[in-house]
Structure formats: C-alpha cells, structure tokens
Amino acid sequence: MHTPIQNAIFYHIYPLGFCGAPQQNDPFAKPVSRLNKITTWLDHIQNLEFNSLYLGPVFESTRHGYDTVDYYHIDRRLGTDADMAALSEEVHSRGMNLVFDGVFNHVGRDFWAFKDVLANGESSPFHDWFANLRFNGRSPYGDPFTYDGWNGHYELVKLNLKNPQVKDHLFFAIESWMQDYRIDGIRLDAADQLDMEFNEELAEFCKRRNPDLWLMGELIHGDYAKWVRPGRYDSCTNYECYKGLFSSFNDRNLFEIAYSLKRQFGEFGLYQNLLLYSFADNHDVDRVTSQLKDPSDLFNLYTLLYTIPGIPSIYYGSEWGIAGRKENGSDDPLRPNLDLHTSIDSAPQPDLPDHLKRLAFIRAELSALRTGNYQQVLVASLQFAFQRELDGSKVLVAVNASDKTEEIILSNRQASNGCWVDLLNPGVEWTAQGEQTVLILPPKWSRILVLKP
C-alpha cells in the first residue's frame, strides 16, 4: 500500500450517486466521463488529511452497482476504463491508497452469463454458475427455473462460488484491477455470505500477486475473528462500534461504547490484535447526523472514531454533518450528488472539517493511537476515558457528553503522575500528582492528553 494500513484514514465515496449518474444504466449508451469529478475533490480530501480512498461499485451494472453486469469494465455511466486508470494515477501520485468494492456474492440479472441461461435454458453452459439454479419451477420473475437471490432479492442472483470457472472469472477480474488500476485493497461486499473456501482461495490468489493487497470484509454480525485472520481477511467492518457510537450519545449512556471497546480491544479482548474498519455511517445506513438526537455530539463522536482502535473512515458529505435517511426502503437519499462549493458554503456543521483535520494530525503524530493497546480508565453515563499505550508512550482520551463542565477524579493507577499535554486543546496542560487528581472536562468536548516523557 502507498500508505501503511495502520496509518490509513479513509474517505468513502459511492461513485454512482456522488457523480450524478442516471439511476438506470442504458447498455447501448456511450460512456459519459463523470469520474473526473472525484479528481476535482482530491484537494479537499487531502486537505482534511485523508490518505486512502474507498470507492463503492465502479464496474458495469444495471442500477446501483451491486447488481454487476461486467467485472472487467467500468460502468459506462461513470466513464471508460481509461478514465478510471487516469483517476488511479492521480490518486497514487498523491501517495494515497485506492480500494475498490468487490461484489462477488451475487450479480445482476443482466450479467452476461445469466442472460445466456435466460436465452438457452438447460443447454446454456453457464447454468451451473449460479447457486441452486434448478429447472423444476419458476422464479419470482417468471423464469422457467429457480435460483438463490441475495437475502431474498431475486434481482441479485447468487453466484455458485464452488464452480472453478466462476472463481477463475472473478479472480482474473481482480488481477486485471491490480494491473490496470493498481488497487491497494478490496472491500468484500456481503462477506458473511461468501463461502469460506472461496475466501481462502481469493486471499491466496491476491496475496501471491501482491502480499500487501488489503482485504476487508463487510461483516455486520458474528465473530469477526472467524474471518479476519491469516489466509482470509486483513480487516472487516466494525458494525458493533458503529451502532455504539451514536446510540451511546443518544441514550446518554457511554457504558455501551465502553463495553464494546473493552470486549473487543481490552486486556482480554476478542480482537486485541486486529485492525478493524471503523465508521460512523456509510452508503447503507442513515447519516450519523440523522441518527443523533443532538448534532453537537458529532464532535465527541468523531473524536472517539479517530482515537479508538481501528482504521477510521468518513463517508463523503459527513465531514460537514449533512443529514440523510432512507426513504420508502430506498438508499438513494444516502447517496447524493454533492457539489463541493455548495457543500462548503451550506455546511450544517461548518466547524466539523477543521475538527476532523485536527484529529487526523493528532492521529498521525501519535503512533499509540494507531496501533497502541487499549485500556479503559473511567466510565460514567456522560463521561468516558481510556488510555492507548505503545512502547512507553501514553495517550489519555477523555470525553464529556454533558452540556456542563465536569470533573473526573483519576487515580495514579489510572493516569500516571506527571505533566500531560492536551493536543486537542493547544496550550492546555494537566499535571497528575499524588494518589488522586481532578481532570476538568469542557462541556460537550474532549481532551487528548499525552504524557510528557
């Protein structure tokens, strides 16, 4: 990777929405070069200290990108293969990582091999490319056969990932992405649905060609360590902490996020040595601003996102605190076409970008925040403190969700005696001495304290 993954801060874009592509693809239309819009945003993205770019689906599809038609060519609504190569070149020239969505569990009904089955039935050489495709009934679409759809959605046809031809088709597509676009990683869509043998073969194929290629699985439930281990994935989405981040503030109950973090990363944590993918929202869930009862909690929430164990990611537009909710079961409101200058001028939270930039600088300065161990220091309903430590360097993060100035009392076992410098609030120092010391926390704000050597 151009930037080591432990140092990565991701900016996540859903290209079809972001670039204002038509919702429905026309397979006979000429490509329209919309990807250049992402290039025009790269200065903004880098100005906020993001060093890694994760792009949602970019390959030819019927509608939303997760209904793939062709794994080998860029969606004509976004542009040409050459347009993507040019974007990749620009991203990499800036020293940034580029990660693609890999949608391998299912394809759209317009996928070329499925269309061959529709045309030729049992005589199609591709009828075994799809999971449980049987010519003994009718599908919900009236086809003279049945098949498995993703999660009951029959417009998304599940692939038979045990078929060697299917695996070859997908793996060679990945190889073409590595060669043509020099991708640094793949986010595996619906990873919990993928056959584990397929996962292992995919990982082996990728790592043989590029040992540094980062594989991150979309996992919502389950034991993350089952997937994130040598020979499988390098990381996965941390949905447990995603939920805990906003609901802890909404319920005025920081015990929730504290419990998850201790369970995952504490002394006997399940995922102590794993770098999970941390996020506050994405293309599938309501914007975090719309989840929070009090938008002023955004600042503390993002302070946590950047300082807890994991790899932080921000979904495009959320750096300004924009709102967005699913409507009538549609994800489209979560995936808007944004104009950069309008977004800056009309930002609901105009001070949030500078806060994120400050957090990124602090994270870059402190290796303990990137890979240090995690130890819970104090938990109350509205206050929460934890320590990250690496090679003797100690960082104390303390959050106050109250709208009043609060004091917390820390013992010398919780916070070592000495002078602590507050990097989030320049010019502020705190001296811990004796058996107990009082730390003052500003209302709705945090401290990120570093112990002077």
We report the CATH number of the domain holding residue 168 as: 3.20.20.80
Cβ neighbors of 225 (< 8 A, separation 6 or more) are: 270, 271, 274
Domain end point (choices 368, 400, 417): 368
- Predicted local confidence at residue 38, as pLDDT: 98
Retrieve residue 410's tokens: 């820390």
d(CA 264, CA 287): 24
d(CA 339, CA 368): 36
> What are the backbone dihedrals phi and psi of residue 211, each rounded to the nearest 5 degrees, phi first?
-60, -20
Instruction: Please tell me whether residues 359 and 394 are part of one structural domain.
Output: no
- Predicted local confidence at residue 2, as pLDDT: 84
- Predicted local confidence at residue 408, as pLDDT: 97
DSSP of 268-283: T-TTTT---EEES--T
Report the CATH number at residue 425.
2.60.40.1180
Instruction: Please tell me whether residues 262 and 397 are part of one structural domain.
Output: no
- Predicted local confidence at residue 23, as pLDDT: 95
Instruction: Please tell me whether residues 185 and 85 are part of one structural domain.
Output: yes
d(CA 384, CA 400): 7
Each residue's pLDDT, cut to its tens digit, for the chain (453 residues) gives 888 999 999 999 999 999 999 999 999 999 999 999 999 999 999 999 999 999 999 999 999 999 999 999 999 999 999 999 999 999 999 999 999 999 999 999 999 999 999 999 999 999 999 999 999 999 999 999 999 999 989 999 999 999 999 999 999 999 999 999 999 999 999 999 999 999 999 999 999 999 999 999 999 999 999 999 999 999 999 999 999 999 999 999 999 999 999 999 999 999 999 999 999 999 999 999 999 999 999 999 999 999 999 999 999 999 999 999 999 989 999 999 999 999 999 999 999 999 999 999 999 999 999 999 999 999 999 999 999 999 999 999 999 999 999 999 999 999 999 999 999 999 999 999 999 999 999 999 999 999 998
Domain end point (choices 326, 351, 368): 368
Instruction: Please tell me whether residues 444 and 298 are part of one structural domain.
Output: no
Domain boundaries, position 395: 371-451
Q: Which helix (H) or strand (E) holds 216?
A: strand 214-217
Instruction: Please tell me whether residues 225 and 316 are part of one structural domain.
Output: yes
- Could you tell me the pTM of the whole model? 0.97
Q: Which helix (H) or strand (E) holds 198?
A: helix 196-209
Q: How far apart are the first and last CA of the chain?
A: 32
Buried b (16+ CB within 10 A) or exposed e, 333-363: bbbbebeeeebeeebebeebbebbebbbebb
Retrieve residue 178's tokens: 């590595």
d(CA 70, CA 352): 39
DSSP of 282-322: -TTS--HHHH-SSGGGHHHHHHHHHHSSSEEEEETTGGGT-
Cβ neighbors of 412 (< 8 A, separation 6 or more) are: 432, 434, 435, 436, 437
d(CA 270, CA 290): 31
- 26 C-beta neighbours (distance < 10 Å), count: 9
Q: Which helix (H) or strand (E) holds 200?
A: helix 196-209
Q: Report the number of distinct structural domains present in the chain.
A: 2
Instruction: Please tell me whether residues 363 and 378 are part of one structural domain.
Output: no
Instruction: Please tell me whether residues 380 and 291 are part of one structural domain.
Output: no
Instruction: Please tell me whether residues 165 and 243 are part of one structural domain.
Output: yes
Instruction: Please tell me whether residues 363 and 409 are part of one structural domain.
Output: no
Instruction: Please tell me whether residues 387 and 360 are part of one structural domain.
Output: no
Instruction: Please tell me whether residues 240 and 346 are part of one structural domain.
Output: yes
d(CA 84, CA 213): 19
Domain end point (choices 344, 368, 392): 368
Instruction: Please tell me whether residues 131 and 217 are part of one structural domain.
Output: yes
Judge whether 193 and 164 are in contact, CB under 8 Å.
no
- Predicted local confidence at residue 453, as pLDDT: 87
